[in-house]
Chains A and B, each alone.
Chain A
Amino acid sequence: MDLLIAIDDTDSIEEGATGQLAQHIAKRIDQRGWGRCGAITRHQLLLAPEVPYTSHNSSMCFPASVHVPRSELIAFCSEILKACSAAGSDPGLCIVCPEELQDHEVLIGYGKATKQRVMTKEEAYQLAEDLGLHLSEHGGNGQGIIGALAGTGLRLSGNDGRFCGKCTIPSSHGITTVTQIHAAGIDRVQTLEGHHLGVAEPVFVGEWVKTVLLDNQSVLLVEPNARPERPSSDAPWKACERKIFMNY
């Protein structure tokens, strides 16, 4: 059974990080031998004063291919959320089986709308009921269900957000090739304008890179290397500066 699992609002001003908690849940599922979890993506939601987020209003989602009853998985994730969420947080959990969804676009549309306007818990619960998804709150005011539901929709879209964590690529003085980048598990290397690099092209990647989710792939964004980081880094391309991720 292939699922998407998303959580949101598990941190507080002083403690916690939703990405780390998502990582923890994924790791525990793997450790139990229940199946395999994929990479976590972070999805930016609406930034507006009237939305009660802590500091960045982002949701975390990951795919899981599991062979345990869904009720058992839900109970397990709920326990972890209850035990590990920060005091004062408003955690939400959403679990979706995309194969069972008759219309992906409704959930994707909800995710996109959550980036544009203020949503209510009532809307989220109604949609979850209409689509037959699992959506639950685990403390506080439960506002996290909105981001959790949106996270599954945005991940399902295949074109939103960035992957959590760093990806290290074997290189010589920070320079490698697209072939090596592929070997490190990154599906594609392209410019912001959408130009795909050829497999032999050299790219300055430094010590590590981060990737974004485009067309359901992990994509490394690059730009022309106009100012080499050092004399030896004369690759024609370099990984985009990290601040570019504010747009993903």
Chain B
Amino acid sequence: MHQLQKTALGTIFLGSVETEADLEAAANLATHCHEYQEDVEDEAYFNGSKTCFDCRFRRWLSGGFSCLKNFPGTSHNK
């Protein structure tokens, strides 16, 4: 998954809600995440769809987000 990139700040999902591939990747990550928790309504953007973009544990950054649970279920969490 090319959206997940290791940086000096840790692993970051680089992507946007405007790009289909990024939407798909974020949905896929959320589907396989046991820590996923939908954020409150005012911070959500996809009306109940399971996606990291709407997860309480994503931490927004310019150009993407990090994961406060360190992307569970991926090799980045090991």
**Chain A: residues with CB nearer than 8 A to chain B?**
13, 17, 19-20, 42, 47-49, 53-58, 164-166, 242-243, 245-246
Contact = CB atoms under 8 A, between A and B. Distances in A.
A19 B43 CA distance: 9
A243 B17 contact: yes
28 contacts: A13-B56, A13-B57, A13-B68, A17-B40, A17-B43, A19-B40, A19-B43, A20-B40, A42-B42, A47-B60, A48-B61, A48-B62, A49-B9, A55-B39, A55-B43, A55-B57, A55-B58, A55-B59, A55-B60, A55-B68, A56-B43, A56-B59, A56-B60, A57-B60, A58-B43, A166-B41, A242-B45, A243-B17
For the complex of A and B, the 7 pairs showing the least CB-CB separation, nearest first, are A17-B40, A243-B17, A19-B42, A243-B45, A55-B59, A164-B42, A47-B60
Interface string B46-72: 110000000011111110000010000
Contacts of B39: 55
Interface residues of B, number: 20
Instruction: Determine the main DSSP class of B at the interface with A.
Output: loop
A49 B46 CA distance: 25
B47 A242 contact: yes
B59 A54 contact: yes
A53 B60 CA distance: 9
Contacts of B47: 242
Given A20-B40, A48-B62, A242 B57 contact: no
B17 A246 contact: yes
A25 to B, nearest CB: 15
A246 B45 contact: yes
